[in-house]
Amino acid sequence: MNFKGKHFLKLLDFTPEEIQALIDLAADLKAKKKAGEAVDVLRGKNIAVIFEKTSTRTRCSFEVAAHDLGMGVTYLDPAGSQIGKKESIADTARVLGRMFDGIEYRGFGQELVEELARYAGVPVWNGLTNEFHPTQILADFLTLQEKFGNLQGLKFVYMGDARYNMGNSLMVGCAKMGMHFVGCAPEKYQPDSQLVKKCQEIANETRAVIEFEEDPMAATKDADAIYTDVWVSMGEPDAVWEERIHDLLPYRVTMKLMENAKKDAVFMHCLPAFHDLNTKIGKEIHEKFGLDCMEVTDEVFESGHSVVFDEAENRMHTIKAVMAATLGANL
């Protein structure tokens, strides 16, 4: 399967077979890493990573993966580039595309990474936008494949605010891979109706199931995986916390919900998670609202059900696969 020269902007752009091929390549690269086998076949190439939103996992994954492949990395943060301020996206893309072999972008609107790709002339990879987070889903699906052996038919429940990049991308991914996706949230927190319609059309081809349920116990019954994310996304004002807590507290992932799922069900989270009081924001929320956790209890987060750190590690392996494939690495 030939990915050379392709962008990686959203999972909607890829077939189920292509997504599976990237997951399988990531599994192979992970095995090579564990065995100490070098894969630095892209020596002499260089990539730029643009971060208009802060990151731990995504930045570290791109940088470590690039170094493992033998590439140089230049990091550009909002203060370190003129993108969108003194220089347009199109102009920035054409400058960077003359110097680098690939460009990662993590920022705001999906239209920005799409425009970057349109003008760059080299592969562009989406490290997260408001609408989609495709590299996270590859990591999540590699994790599920490691735990269950396959993806087809798994019941996957997303709890909480499903309107943004994680809810959108997981729904698309589940539709593509023939899974049973359940979005468990109040109606106003469910994904855009046009995207839901698109996913339903995909599901008709892949035998996936796409549904929404407001009752957490009904949603999580016999689930294979229960997934959640923070209730306030990056870039949103602090003022929305009170509304989100009021609306989404019934959708917190608790041990009661995990026990309602299958015995071997896994708990998933893209991180960071507010599961205790060991963060500045966690302490502030506790002082304002009296909560010692938010979207997931510490009991679940630290339990044997939790695979959150497997997901975090798999970000690097799946991002390595995306870069290797789109840059034409001979592995």
Catalytic center residues = 106, 133, 136, 229, 270, 315
| Nearest Cα to Cα of residue 158 among 177, 145, 172, 178 | 172
Cα separation, 89 vs 105, in Å, equals: 11
Quote the radius of gyration of the chain (alpha carbons, Å): 19
- Say if CB 269 and CB 296 are below 8 A apart: yes
| Nearest Cα to Cα of residue 67 among 293, 270, 324, 278 | 324
Could you say which DSSP state residue 275 is in?
-
Q: Is 183 helix (H, G, I), strand (E, B) or coil?
A: strand
The Cα diameter of the chain in Å comes to: 55
Cα separation, 317 vs 185, in Å, equals: 31
Sheet of 124-128: strands edge to edge? Answer: 72-76, 46-51, 102-106, 124-128
